[in-house]
Structure 1
Amino acid sequence: MKYILYYSPGAASFAVHWMLVHINESIDAVRVDLDSGAQHRGEYRHLNPMGRVPTLIIDGAPRGESTALLMLLAERHPEADLAPSPGSADRAQWMELMIYLANTLLPAMRDWFYADVDGAGIDADHVRSLARKRIEEVWVRLDNNLANANGYLVGEKLSTVDFLAIMLMRWSRDMPRPATDWPHVLAYVTKLRALSSFIEVNEKEGLRGWNNSVGVAIDC
């Protein structure tokens, strides 16, 4: 099967793009120029009424929401083994973390970046202050989880949680306290950034500046 992915470099489409590269799926990647407002124009709005990325064409139908797409792709490609199987010991934690990141971290990130766009400018500083508190609480929780983990957020192998988490950690890179200020998160990020698929998707999207400065690519 061949997918069509509408993406913007480093945006919410990144995790989906990365997963598709990682599982070596055939895709047509169509860049959406967010700076020029292409996401709000008629043709794209027909595919994605919210005017956001990603949009993934699956069996001829447009689908959105990065978290849902990661979970759906894991279901469609069980051979990739990127989600614990139903009934397995790690399934509950996987579902919990996918929803936690989607419901807690993603909205807080939007508040941080778009406080003066989505709401009244006079309230922007207060919104950002609360958003930062919520974001850093997530880093504390994940750092604690990783202190007793085996290099991944769920179980002993890569999963969709990791694609989503790393994307969101990347977004924090210019915040007063980026995710990498937490030691176990830093070790985790360094490990995942060494994956050959991470390096490849960065090259495909033309992203620079949040990569390991030394080391070689690894496969997982």
Structure 2
Amino acid sequence: MYTLYWDVGTAAMAPHAILEEVGAPYRLVRVDTDKGEHLQPAYLKINPHGRVPALADDGMVMYESAAICLHLADRHPQAGLAPPVESPARAHYLQWMTFLTNTVQETLIHWFHPDRYGPAEVATAIQDAAVRRLDRHWSFLDGQLAGEGPFLLGETASAADIYLAMLARWSRNMERPAGAHPHLRALIERVRARPAYRRMLELQGITQPLPGEAVA
């Protein structure tokens, strides 16, 4: 049985949704980051970086949200969330997963945590630069979906689309969120319509907003 260490609305959303997609037995252990539980010695033994999510899999423990998603999708090929290694689509699947975590997610973190990247007097400048980069990222993804969609891999949904929907939600309180782009909005709505994603939202107690609505 899997164990997912999580907190509400964090990068645990995508792994949690994928656990629901694959139908494998799992249990949830909440790590309340508002209370600092992610920095307590017990959790630091699981993830020494003090972040959620982490996944325990039959004695093996791993962290990093995108890595967990890749692992689960490959462990459960019957769910159809990852192209097989021999498929030409595999390269693009890995490309999108890496782009989402290395580029889009990193830019979102600049917006949420400017203190990690400079002193307080430049925090606003860091956030403003992040907003400009994010708008380019969303526009790029929207163009990709316009030409090759409705999903990142064309007609087939994958773990990358679930990951993108999670990141898009994080932009909901920005002046121009991901959902302001029509093809991105359509993808977000397709992912949210999936029973597994709805179940994840329900279990995490998250109200399901439209992409631009400021609902926690």
TM over 0.5: yes
Which residue of structure 2 lines up, in the alignment, with residue 126 of structure 1? 125
TM superposition shift of 1:10: 1.0
Which residue of structure 1 lines up, in the alignment, with residue 93 of structure 2? 94
Deviation readout 1:177-197 (Å, 9 max, x if unpaired): 100111111111122111111
Which residue of structure 1 lines up, in the alignment, with residue 161 of structure 2? 162
> Contact conserved, 1:71 with 1:160, CA < 8 A, in 2?
yes
Secondary structure at the counterpart of residue 171 of structure 2? helix
Which residue of structure 2 lines up, in the alignment, with residue 42 of structure 1? 41
Q: Give distance in 1, aligned partners of 2:191 and 2:13.
A: 14
Which residue of structure 2 lines up, in the alignment, with residue 196 of structure 1? 195
CA RMSD of aligned residues (A): 1.4
Q: Give distance in 2, aligned partners of 1:164 and 1:210.
A: 17
> Contact conserved, 1:55 with 1:62, CA < 8 A, in 2?
yes
Name whichever of 158-167 and 148-157 sits farther off: 148-157
Which residue of structure 1 lines up, in the alignment, with residue 111 of structure 2? 112
Cα distance change, pair 112–190 in 1 and its aligned pair in 2 (3 A): same
Q: Give distance in 2, aligned partners of 1:209 and 1:67.
A: 22
Name whichever of 118-127 and 97-106 sits farther off: 118-127
TM superposition shift of 1:118: 5.2
Percent identity over the alignment is 36
Deviation readout 1:33-72 (Å, 9 max, x if unpaired): 0101000000000100000000100121221001111111
TM-score by length of 1: 0.92
TM superposition shift of 1:116: 2.9
Q: Give distance in 2, aligned partners of 1:88 and 1:133.
A: 35
Which consecutive unaligned segments of at least 5 residues does structure 2 have?
212-216
Number of aligned residue pairs: give it. 211
Which residue of structure 2 lines up, in the alignment, with residue 56 of structure 1? 55
Q: Give distance in 2, aligned partners of 1:4 and 1:119.
A: 36
Which residue of structure 2 lines up, in the alignment, with residue 181 of structure 1? 180
TM superposition shift of 1:28: 0.8
> Contact conserved, 2:150 with 2:183, CA < 8 A, in 1?
no
Q: Give distance in 1, aligned partners of 2:210 and 2:49.
A: 31
Q: Give distance in 1, aligned partners of 2:164 and 2:148.
A: 15
Deviation readout 1:112-149 (Å, 9 max, x if unpaired): 00113553111101111111112111101110011123
Q: Give distance in 1, aligned partners of 2:34 and 2:64.
A: 20
Secondary structure at the counterpart of residue 30 of structure 1? strand
Which residue of structure 2 lines up, in the alignment, with residue 136 of structure 1? 135
Deviation readout 1:165-219 (Å, 9 max, x if unpaired): 000000000011100111111111122111111111111000014259xxxxxxx
Q: Give distance in 1, aligned partners of 2:40 and 2:117.
A: 19
Q: Which amino acid aligns with 1:135?
A: L
Q: Which amino acid aligns with 2:19?
A: L
Secondary structure at the counterpart of residue 174 of structure 1? coil
1:152 aligns with 2:130: no
Which consecutive unaligned segments of at least 5 residues does structure 1 have?
213-220
Deviation readout 1:62-93 (Å, 9 max, x if unpaired): 21001111111111111112111123121121
Q: Which amino acid aligns with 1:17?
A: H
> Contact conserved, 1:17 with 1:201, CA < 8 A, in 2?
yes
Q: Which amino acid aligns with 1:5?
A: L
